């Protein structure tokens, strides 16, 4: 199982949008058994160690450094499906 956490500044809209895009990208990459969650960066700092992949906007990446033992992905464009898919594919190698 791959556990993915998406986080944004407030844990509302952006993290949920990223979560849906991540789930779609993982389906396209034929990754079975995915567990995903979304929250604020503040919340993510406390739970990130429980996830294999943590995804945030690049401007929040420094706040998450050292909070996870998994892969930390920073996105330039939260709406870019191709960027999300490419970065997930790289993280899963």
pLDDT in tens, 29-59: 999 999 999 999 999 999 999 999 999 999 9
CA distance 75 to 81: 11
CA geometry: angle 49, 77, 22, nearest 5 deg: 50
Answer yes or no: pTM beyond 0.75: yes
Looking at the DSSP bridge assignments, the partners of residue 75 are 57
Between 14 and 29, name the one with better pLDDT.
Answer: 29
The token pair at 69 is: 């033992």
> pLDDT > 70: what percent of the chain?
99
Which of the residues are catalytic? 8
At 85 the pLDDT is 98
Label residue 11 by pLDDT band (50, 70, 90): low
């Amino acid at each position: 199982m791959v556990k993915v956490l998406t986080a944004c500044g407030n844990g509302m809209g952006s993290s949920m949008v990223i979560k849906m895009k991540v789930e779609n990208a993982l389906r396209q990459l034929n990754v079975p058994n995915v567990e995903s969650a979304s929250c604020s960066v503040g919340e993510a700092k406390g739970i990130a160690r429980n996830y294999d992949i943590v995804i945030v906007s690049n401007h929040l990446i420094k706040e998450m450094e050292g909070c996870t033992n998994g892969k930390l992905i920073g996105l330039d464009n939260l709406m870019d499906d191709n960027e999300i898919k490419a970065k997930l594919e790289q993280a899963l190698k």
